[in-house]
Amino acid sequence: GSFILKYNYKDALKISIRDRKNHKSPNCAYPEGAVAGALGIQLGGTNIYFGKAVYKPTIGDKHREIEVDDIVKTNKIMYATSITSIVVFTIIFKFLY
């Protein structure tokens, strides 16, 4: 998805592999790393939950501050990746059957 949207797809791949163990859930680490790499942001670190500071390992490299628009960009990456996956697997399915 980040390739189609002309985000940093090389860092998306690099960060998702490099930081894959920096999350309690292995299912979350890969996509969070891909988004962090694609957008040049860092996720994790010290966060506030219900008034208490909680530290989590970081995912990604902090090339810039996170902005509200990053939520929209993340949604675009998710939709582009989903649509690309559907198209690719449909083509594969057509060739196999």
The DSSP element (H or E) to which 52 belongs, if any, is: strand 52-59
Query: Residue 4 falls within a domain, yes or no?
Result: no
The single-letter code of the amino acid at 11 is D
* pTM of the predicted protein model: 0.87
| Average pLDDT estimate for 80-86 | 97
Q: Please, which pLDDT band fits residue 19 given cuts at 50, 70 and 90?
A: very high
User: What is each CA distance from 68 to 20, 72, 76, 97, in whole angstroms?
Assistant: 24, 8, 14, 44
The pLDDT assigned to 5 comes to: 97
Query: Residue 42 falls within a domain, yes or no?
Result: yes
Q: Does the pLDDT at position 24 exceed 90?
A: no
Query: Residue 2 falls within a domain, yes or no?
Result: no
Contact 39, 7 (CB under 8 A): yes
The domain of 13 spans 9-96
The single-letter code of the amino acid at 32 is E
What's the total number of domains in the chain? Answer: 1
Query: Residue 58 falls within a domain, yes or no?
Result: yes
Top-confidence residue, 67 or 24: 67
The pLDDT assigned to 26 comes to: 78
